Amino acid sequence: MTTNDDAALRAEAEAWLADDPDPRSRAELRALIDGLPGTAGELRDSFAGPLTFGTAGLRGRLRPGPNGMNLAVVTRAAAGLVSWLAARGGTGPLVIGYDARHGSKAFAEQTARVATGAGREALVMPGTLPTPVLAYAVRALDAVAGVMVTASHNPPQDNGYKVYLGRALGGPAGDGAQIVPPADAGIEAAIRAVGRIADVPLGEPGKLLDDAIPQGYVRSAAAVLTEGGPRDLAVAYTPMHGVGGSTLAAAFVAAGFAEPAVVADQFTPDPEFPTVAFPNPEEPGAMDHLLALAGLGGADLAVANDPDADRCAVAIPSDGGWRPLRGDELGVLLADHLIRRGVPGTYATTIVSSQLLGRLCTARGVPYAETLTGFKWIVRAAEDLAYGYEEALGYCVAPALVRDKDGITAALNVAEMAAGLKAEGRTLADRLDELAAEFGVHATDQLSVRVDDLAEIGVAMGRARREPPATLLGAPLTAIDDLLPDNDVLTFRTAAARVVIRPSGTEPKLKAYLEVVEPVGQGDVRGARERAAASLRTLRTEVAAALGV
């Protein structure tokens, strides 16, 4: 039996179908319409509402309708973006990059045609390339803005659309950085104002750039390191089926390192990510192939990029095996390395990252800043930014080159640090122990809860606000910081522990960031680490109970 709701849904879908420019998504949508009422659930989800253009741009599942990533949605997004740029008086080209995900090249080409149709020059990257190369290109080409078609480390069925602004509209601290409010709201309003897709003028496919930009990025990335430093280091590497492999290998060679040994079945870009359950180096099991390669012998360091190579994961030898470093561990190691090199400026991280960076900066007498979560905020922490990181494996080690997280220059700096320590007969683990002996063990972990219904996140946050725990690890809370109404972030603190709770900005997850600080007595770093690990396990259980998960 057909209900009124089904009839309204059918009418909405038919109207979308009539304006959809992509034969493939039209066929998919036609099948859903013809399958009613049996397909009502899937069709209703596709039309649940438009993907919101936020500070991370667009990101969603590849499917027809306004609640998916498809050519129609991308056409509207591109038309809204170029309209907003024109209204703001932005001059100069729009540079467009894309990764190897399903639909990425077509979405990039359509963006270019919308831009040229509106009378704006469009410069298209010469092939599938990492996100940091697009961010670099925005600055190198003095572009008014940049678009990167990628869903980063999301699953294979997703794609996305990131927007970067050039100096004219982004300002000095936002030159080549991702958009922040109110730009996102302005672009979203311009997208809503777009009429029929059939009425959006399409021009030529834009100018295809040659290899000068990716080659310039590689040269500049290599030049970030100290010239003439130690380079004796064997590295095992995986791009995790993404687009970082060739660029990272070229950057390592340009910097004077041997080309890394690579995980062969993960090196060629593959949008299906066939050897990993989830293409995110943070996920359990994602680095198994890399660690197997490193374990064959001879490697000093294991490095992974996520699929668009803006993140960097590192594993080090440990107790006869290999141990992935937490994002906070690598974040502080990189900061310490740059400070030792005398790199001037402000060092920044986010409110959910470890407190150790702030303590390191205070002890070393360098400026420190703390921001909300997200690289769009980190890179705007100060015009003189020297370095920024977030615990989710994002590192900006060369803001003058790429004002965003960059997994390739981060990997180069880790390699430089590891090679320097190797020349002294020491390791990254030794440097971590030195920092722990000086500042105490700052052990961090994350409780991440994936949900099917986003309303569950609001319920859990509400419970934590109404009924906060009286103690954590047996100690009374010393502070509760609630950033509502501006930001949905809640922090619990004790003298030796901190918990920050927030919804994820890019995935249907509730996240709790845990940290305990354990003093090191009489040089016993190992004992302090064991006590901290035990405390983290207990803290994780307590926080899960407080959230009702």
Please list the active-site residues: 152
Across the beta sheet with 394-396, the strand order is: 368-371, 346-350, 385-390, 394-396
Contact 69, 62 (CB under 8 A): yes
Show Cβ contacts of residue 94 under 8 Å, excluding neighbours closer than 6 positions.
81, 82, 85, 111, 112, 115, 120, 121, 122, 123, 143, 144, 145, 146, 147
Contact 454, 468 (CB under 8 A): no
Identify any residues that bridge with 316 across adjacent strands, giving them in sequence order: 323
Contacts 24+ apart (CB under 8 A), 316-324: 316/427, 316/428, 316/429, 317/427, 317/429, 318/429, 321/291, 321/295, 322/291, 322/294, 322/295, 324/281, 324/287, 324/291
Q: What single-letter DSSP state applies at residue 199?
A: G
* Token pair recorded at residue 174: 């936002």
For tokens 């003439």, name the residue: 228
d(CA 9, CA 42): 11
d(CA 106, CA 253): 32
Peptide bond into 399 cis (omega under 30): no
3-state secondary structure of 516: strand
Contact 146, 94 (CB under 8 A): yes
d(CA 111, CA 115): 6
User: Which parts of 158-254 fold into alpha helices (H)?
Assistant: 167-170, 183-192, 212-223, 245-254
d(CA 476, CA 347): 31
